[in-house]
Structure 1
Amino acid sequence: MDGPKDGAAVTAAGFGVKGPRGWVFRDVDVDAAPGSIVAVEGPSGSGRTCLLLALTGRMRSAEGTAAVGGFRLPRQMAAVRRVSALAQVPGVTDLDPALTVAEHLRERELLRRRFDGSLRGLLRPRSERASEAKLRIETALAAAGLDREALPKGTRTAVRDLERIEALRLSLALALIGRPLLVGIDDTDMKLADTERAQIWDQLKAIAAAGTTVVAVCSQAPAGLDAVVVSTVHPGTSAPTDTDKETADALAEAGRA
């Protein structure tokens, strides 16, 4: 089984994305070491989700420079996608409400093995592959803080019966199964109580401390958070009025990536 890896450094200078209706965001600078948290602040419609998609290789930039784990954007978008994963991005990582937690986990591991596994790995004994898959899932659940024993029916619980914070943790666990160098999560603080929001940020800090770089979209980063805080709305400007359409188009494209 693969050993632990260092996270991906994230850098950007004058980074921007432009759509048919104008700039979605621009003039964004980032300088984050591996294993850091990058908190992307901004109100809904400010281009914050588009920045998340751009930094994870799912949306093409129009100006400036950026690199993730040494791979340059937008030239090496495919390479950035291979070392990054997304959690809780509407239109891209939506959970199926009819499926159970176990079904989601099993499906994600099967997809990982099919598209990310080496030929040598596929030729290993079935029992060995099953043990590795179980360990990957257990590790991802622990990292995301999802306690299966606390769910109404354990991993047989359907997504429709999960609390919002539980669904968020499941989405995060699914992203972590592939052991990415960078994990991006959208709407970190949306519809969560203050205590739940604090719990999620503590979980993200633990993930970063373990070596995985985190890019987290939020309305406002918590005070005292040791993070690189990036705003998609800059002094003297207002949030773009057409960003919602640009984001929808980007999400449709990211879902096909």
Structure 2
Amino acid sequence: MTVLRARGAGVRHRRRWLFQDLDLDVSPGEVAAVVGPPGSGRTTMLLALAQRFRLSAGRVDITGTAELGHVPGVSEPESVLTVAEHVRERMLLTGRRPGGETALHGLDPAARGFELSPYERQVWGLVLARISDPQVVALDGVDEGLDAGEREALWRLIGETTAEGVAVLITAREVDEKRVSTVVRLHGRDDREGDEK
């Protein structure tokens, strides 16, 4: 069974393609990684795969829903809200009754958005994304600003998420291919299309 299918997907910006002719299938519990240097279009591809960015060509179909985790400039913590307030707000927005236990995975419920480290922002995004029980979760820059221990802890949380049958889309500069099901590589401004593993 496939929860995400892309066929001939592409995004054009001005006179160049950020990516094109992307065919991708992601099943429940799989991790698909979009890998490339800054400016290569990986965040745009992530957003397009999560149906949050308009395609110029092709299509992306998702069985169920996709939620964004932390995506800088798109899905970030409100600086003055606490972690607990973010959770309560998300529960209200998704029609869930506040008051139940939500696993915070070590986050301080009283920490305000501006106080969160890069690792804590990734955890924050994953916690909020999971509240609505999506079939797909998208996380941007899972290797940026994290030390080795934090990366390992984040991969454990990603593993817990996929073990529950949720597909996870990530972007990174580089990734251990043993940890993921699929890698789409973007090489930078001269890219004409991604190379799929």
TM-score normalised by length of structure 1 = 0.68
* Corresponding position of 1:254: none
Q: Do 1:13 and 1:30's aligned partners in 2 also have CA atoms closer than 8 Å?
A: yes
Q: What amino acid is the match of 1:36?
A: E
Q: Is 1:18 aligned to 2:3, yes or no?
A: no
1:70-85 superposed matches below 5 A: 83-85=65-67
Query: Match for 1:40 among 34, 38, 53?
Result: 34
Question: 1:40, 1:217 within 8 Å by CA — same for their partners in 2?
Answer: yes
2:87 counterpart SS class: helix
Counterpart secondary structure, 2:179: coil
How far, CA to CA, are the matches of 2:150 and 2:159 in structure 1?
14
The answer for unaligned runs of 5 or more in structure 1 is 1-6, 70-79, 118-128, 234-238, 242-257
**Counterpart Cα distance in 2 of 1:58 and 1:159:** 23
Equivalent runs, 1:1-257 vs 2, <5 Å = 9-69=3-63, 83-113=65-95, 129=97, 133-135=98-100, 137-139=101-103, 141=104, 146-148=105-107, 151=108, 155-233=109-187, 239-240=188-189
Deviation by residue 1:80-132 (Cα, 9 ceiling, x = unmatched) = 7xx1100111222111122111111111111111xxx7xxxxxxxxxxx4xxx
Q: Could you say if the C-alpha distance between residues 65 and 108 of structure 1 is closer, same or farther in structure 2, counting changes exceeding 3 Å?
A: closer
For residue 29 of structure 2, give the secondary structure of its aligned residue in structure 1: coil
TM-score where L is the length of structure 2: 0.86
- Following superposition, the deviation at residue 225 of structure 1 comes to 1.3
Matched residues, number: 190
Q: Which has the larger radius of gyration?
A: 1
For residues 90 and 14 of structure 2, the distance between their equivalents in structure 1, rounded to whole angstroms, comes to 34
Please identify runs of 4+ aligned residues in structure 1 that moved more than 6 A: none
CA distance in 2, matches of 1:28, 1:52: 12
Deviation string, structure 1 residues 44-93 (Cα, Å, up to 9, x no partner) = 11111111111111112122343222xxxxxxxxxx7xx11001112221
Identity %: 34
Structure that is richer in helix per residue: 1
C-alpha RMSD of matched pairs (Å): 2.1
- AA paired with 1:224? K
Question: How far apart are 1:223 and its partner, in Å?
Answer: 4.2
Q: What do residues 115-158 of structure 1 show as CA deviations (whole Å, max 9, x unaligned)?
A: xx7xxxxxxxxxxx4xxx333x515x3xxxx224xx3xxx1222
Residue 12 of structure 1 and its aligned partner are, at CA, apart by 2.1
